[in-house]
Amino acid sequence: MKYFIVDVFTEKLFRGNPAGVCLLEDWLPDETMQNIAMENNLSETAFLVKRSSHYDLRWFTPEIEIDLCGHATMGSAYVLFRFVEKTAGALSFQTQSGELTVERKGDMLLMNFPARPAVPVQRLKSIGDSLRVEEFESFKSADLLVVLDTEDTVMRMDPEYEAMKRVKEEAGMLDDSFGVIITAPGSDCDFVSRYFAPNAGVNEDPVTGRAHCVLIPYWSKRLGKTVMNARQLSKRGGSIYCEDAGDRVIIGGRAALYLTGEINDEGFGKL
C-alpha cells in the first residue's frame, strides 16, 4: 500500500501538522484502518479510494474515526496533485461531512469546507478546570470554542487533559470526535488558536483545519472581515489563510512532503 507523510500548513519540514495518507484500491476493514492509524501514531491518517469523478476519503486518529479533518484532506490533495492527478486544478472528495473540494493556486492549496458557526453557551466548569482560567467566553458547535483575552494567554496555556475529557458530559457533546478550541486576537495576524482533543486520543493537534470551520465565522463577524490570516500556536506551529464564504469557508495553506513509502500489507489477513 502506498503511504505518504505530508507536513501541512507549512512550507518547511518538521513544522505544521504531519498527516498520513494511504492510497487504497478499495476499502480495508475498519479495524485494519484503525490499526494502521494507531501504528502511524499521527493525529490523523487519511484513507482514499478513487471513484470515477472523485475520491472517497476517511480519517482516523490513533483511537477513533472522525467526521472531518482539514490537514489530512490537504495532505491527501497534495499527494494526489503531485503523484496521481498531475494536471488537475481541483479535486473532489466525498466524506462523512459531504463533498469537500481542494483547489491549487501556485503552491497554495485552498480547501472548501462547511462553515460551523458556534452559538454562545454558559461557562462550563470543566473548561475552567481543565484550562485553569476564570475569565473566558464559551461557544458550542461540533467543537467547543473558548475565547480568551490575549495571544500570550493562548500561548502559555497548559491544559489538564484528564479534566478536559470531562467536558463531554457537561457540554452534552454526542461523541468523542469533538475538540476544544482556544483563541484570541493575534499580534501579527488576525487571530491565533490552539486545539485539544483528548477524547479522540489527540491531546493537542498541531494545526487544525476543522477548527477553522468554527473560527472563521466567529472572527469574520467579530472583525468585520471576510479574508483573514491566522496562526496556530502549537509547538510545531502553522499559518492558515481564512475566508468566510457564507455557509462555506475557504481554508488555505502550503505543504511539504516528508516521506513516501509502502505499508507492508502481507499480514493484514492474519489480524
Is 39 annotated as catalytic?
Answer: no
Q: How far is CA 147 from CA 135, 185, 240, in A?
A: 9, 9, 18
Q: Strand, helix or coil at 56?
A: strand
**Can you give the length of the chain in residues?**
271
Task: Yes or no: say if 212 and 202 are a contact pair by the CB < 8 Å rule.
Answer: no
DSSP state, 226?
A: S
Q: Which of 44, 134, 135, 243 is labelled catalytic?
A: 44
C-alpha cell, 245? 464564504
According to DSSP, the β-strands at 65-66 and 108-114 are unpaired
Nearest to 233 by CA among 178, 197, 187, 164: 187
Which residues are identified as catalytic?
A: 44
